[in-house]
Amino acid sequence: MSALNLMPWRERRRQSALRRWCWGTALTLSLSTCLVALVDHQLQSWQQQHARQQKQWLEQDVQLKTRLADAPLWQGRQRQAQQLKTQGLHWQQQQQQAWRALSQILALPPQGVQMTHLTWQDQQVRIRGWAVSAAHVQAWQDALQLQRVEWHPAQWRHAEGLAMRQHAFVLEGRLQALGTGS
C-alpha cells in the first residue's frame, strides 16, 4: 500500500525534490573535486619548491663541507698574509726612519767636514769622513747630538785640486729625533 500514491502532486513534488537532491549532490561532488584538485595542485607546487630548496641546501652543505676541509689551508694563508702585512708595516716604518735620519743629517750643513760614507742600521748612524780640524767635527757632532767619535791623526790629502792635511773621523750614535719616533 505504500507504493500506491493517489495524489499526483505529491509524486511530482517528490520527483522534483529527488532531482534537486541529485543536482545538489552532483554539484557538491564536482565542487569538492575541483577544490581537492586545486588544493592538490597548490600542495604539489609547494612540495616542488620545498624539494628544490632542500636540494639547494644539500648542495650548499656539500660545498661548505668541502670548504671546511680546505679551511686549515686558507687559515694558514690568512696567517701568512697577516704576517706579511705586519712585516710590510715594520719595513715601511724602518724606511721612513731612514729617510728622517738622512734628512736630519743633511739638514745640518757640515762646514769643514766631508762625508765619505754614511750607514744607518738598527737606528744607529755611522758617518765616516774627513775634517779640516777637530773643532769642525766637534761642532757637527754637537749639532747631530751623536755620542761617540773616533779620531785619526792628520794625513795629507789631495781634495779639489788642493793638497791639505785632513783628519779621518768616524761618528757613531743614535739620532735623538729618531729615538722618540720609534
106-129, pLDDT tens digit by residue? 777 677 787 888 887 777 888 888
**CA 1 vs CA 8, 31, 103, 115: distances in Å:** 15, 40, 134, 146
**C-beta separation of 163 from 149 below 8 A:** no
Residue 5 has pLDDT above 70, yes or no: no
Half-sphere CA count of 12, side-chain side, radius 13 A: 3
Quick: pLDDT tens for 30-42.
Answer: 999 999 999 999 9
Which range is most confident: 14-18, 28-32, 90-94, 172-176? 28-32
Lowest mean pLDDT among 5-9, 16-20, 22-26: 5-9
For 116, the 3-state DSSP assignment is strand
End-to-end Cα distance, the chain: 124
What phi and psi values does residue 133 have, to the nearest 5 degrees? -150, 165
Q: What is the pLDDT of residue 3?
A: 65
Q: Which of 63-77, 94-108, 120-134, 144-158 has the lowest mean pLDDT?
A: 144-158
User: 4 versus 15: which is more confidently predicted?
Assistant: 15
Average of per-residue pLDDT values in the chain:
82
Cα separation, 8 vs 15, whole angstroms? 11
The stretch 84-88 carries a mean pLDDT of 91
Better-scored residue on pLDDT, 151 or 172: 172
Given the candidates 3.40.50, 3.30.1360, 1.10.8, 3.30.70, the CATH classification of the domain at 110-181 is 3.30.1360
For residues 92-119, give the mean pLDDT: 79
Distance CA 167, CA 141 (A): 15
Residues 6+ apart with CB under 8 A from 128: 115, 116, 117, 118, 168, 169, 170
Question: Could you give the percent of the chain with pLDDT greater than 70?
Answer: 90
pLDDT value of residue 182: 41
